[in-house]
């Protein structure tokens, strides 16, 4: 039996959902009507100007010598004037309809706000209960095979369980190439305030100091934050990797990292470097270790030399490169390696964000193109790290949990074709394992 208070809350929530749907419909109606009004206004202006030009050539008859007008001339003028008035009336009617629709939208938005405000205490209680349930029910693992099925993501607190027994939030903030100093500091602070609990950076971004400062000032306990950074290509090798890690820990002002990645296989020595990460993990300085931009041959090399597989492989992943990367996705999936996607939003390139495959889904859900692409990635089973340094977009990206794409929409996005002209393509780098003897001895 549902308590009366709970029943009232459910009814209000349903009403809120219905209002949301109606608001979206009215907004679309308003947009269509406003567009029609603009179109009619343009037609009216063109019609008026063209009629003026038509009679200008015979102005001696039309103005100065109107007595010479034939009946046909007068009838023509009357017809043109009637069309003027018709176009003008249609434009005014469309504009009025747009104003009415806008008033309806504003009224419904206000009504929806009142309902949500009334339900806030019970919603907070419901959120607390769900948070506890999330601990038991929200541990999700990579999908079984491509094409990937929809993930059962309940809320932003859901996490991916990694092969090493640790877990990571399904959404994090990436500070890829964000300027060190205030830009990075503000982005991290805003993200933590908004509810993000994962931050992804790298030594090559040169902003680890700013990330560490923001985390320290945020007031969020260190244990609640999943912190990732990456080993740059210049520091491959056993001793160099250990030294680079100590430098990153110092800059970030932390005693350990939740995830440390080899940034790419470009400069080789991948097994030798991987052995250093394994050693530092045993010392407790790294909870999880992984790689970035590794292709199948690089992952197979680690396996061939008897090393544990990475917990994570962070690669460029979005609809336009999905088809070509199915093999590496399958390999990661079969070997329990969590795929972490970067570049999910086409690196912000408007010519790709405005493709019909994206905009059609945007219109259907009343969402942003970024939210649609991030939701695609989540439903594909990828962990995501959208990068932004603007507060409203950081908060907006976290609303990816408010929408759910249909299978048809997923398939349409997955079939997109095109090239973003990536600045690099490390997945095809030659395989160089380096000296494996030291690590083998310590295993």
Distance between CA atoms of residues 292 and 320, nearest Å: 19
Q: Residue 253 — left, alpha, or beta (φ > 0 → left; ψ -120 to 50 → alpha)?
A: left
Q: Which of 9, 148, 185, 205 is catalytic?
A: 205
Q: Residue 406 — left, alpha, or beta (φ > 0 → left; ψ -120 to 50 → alpha)?
A: beta
Rg for the chain, CA atoms, rounded: 30
Beta 338-342 vs 312-316: how paired, if at all?
parallel
Distance between CA atoms of residues 57 and 80, nearest Å: 16
Distance between CA atoms of residues 318 and 414, nearest Å: 8
The side-by-side arrangement of strands in the sheet containing 167-169 is: 139-140, 159-161, 167-169
3-state secondary structure of 288: strand
Active site annotation includes 185:
no
Is the link from the previous residue into 147 a cis peptide, with omega within 30 of 0? yes
Distance between CA atoms of residues 85 and 88, nearest Å: 5
User: Which residues have a catalytic role annotated?
Assistant: 205
């Amino acid at each position: 039996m549902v308590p009366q208070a709970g029943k009232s809350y459910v009814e209000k929530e349903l009403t809120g959902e219905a209002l949301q749907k109606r608001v979206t419909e009215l907004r679309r109606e308003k947009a269509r009507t406003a567009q029609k009004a603009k179109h009619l206004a343009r037609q009216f202006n063109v019609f008026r100007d063209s009629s003026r030009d038509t009679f200008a050539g015979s102005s001696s008859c039309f103005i100065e010598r109107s007595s010479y007008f034939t009946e046909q001339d007068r009838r023509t003028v009357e017809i043109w004037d009637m069309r003027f008035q018709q176009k003008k009336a249609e434009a005014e009617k469309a504009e009025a309809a747009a104003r009415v629709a806008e008033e309806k939208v504003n009224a419904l938005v206000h009504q929806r706000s009142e309902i949500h405000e009334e339900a806030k205490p019970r919603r907070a209680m419901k959120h607390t209960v769900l948070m506890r349930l999330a601990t038991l029910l929200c541990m999700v693992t990579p999908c079984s095979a491509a094409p990937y099925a929809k993930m059962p993501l309940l809320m932003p607190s859901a996490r991916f369980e990694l092969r090493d027994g640790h877990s990571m939030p399904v959404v994090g903030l990436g500070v890829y190439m964000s300027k060190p100093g205030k830009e990075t500091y503000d982005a991290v602070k805003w993200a933590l305030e908004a509810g993000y609990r994962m931050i992804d950076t790298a030594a090559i971004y040169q902003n680890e100091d700013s990330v560490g400062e923001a985390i320290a000032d945020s007031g969020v306990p260190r244990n609640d934050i999943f912190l990732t950074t990456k080993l740059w290509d210049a520091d491959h090798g056993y001793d160099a990797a250990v030294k680079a890690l100590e430098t990153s820990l110092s800059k970030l002002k932390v005693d350990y990292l939740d995830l440390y990645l080899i940034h790419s296989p470009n400069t080789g020595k991948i097994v030798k470097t991987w052995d250093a990460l394994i050693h530092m993990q045993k010392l407790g300085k790294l909870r999880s270790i992984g790689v970035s931009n590794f292709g199948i041959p690089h992952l197979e090399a680690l396996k061939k030399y008897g090393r544990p597989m990475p917990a994570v492989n962070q690669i460029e992943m979005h609809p336009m490169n999905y088809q070509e990367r199915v093999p590496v996705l399958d390999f990661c999936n079969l070997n329990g390696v969590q795929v972490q996607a970067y570049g999910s939003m086409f690196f912000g390139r408007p010519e790709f964000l405005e493709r019909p495959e994206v905009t059609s889904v945007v219109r259907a859900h009343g969402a942003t193109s970024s939210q649609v692409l991030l939701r695609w990635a989540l439903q594909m089973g990828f962990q995501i790290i959208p990068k932004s340094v603007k507060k409203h977009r950081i908060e907006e990206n976290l609303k990816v949990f408010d929408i759910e794409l249909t299978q048809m929409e997923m398939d349409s996005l997955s079939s997109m074709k095109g090239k973003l002209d990536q600045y690099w393509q490390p997945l095809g780098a030659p395989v160089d394992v380096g000296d494996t003897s030291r690590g083998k001895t310590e295993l």
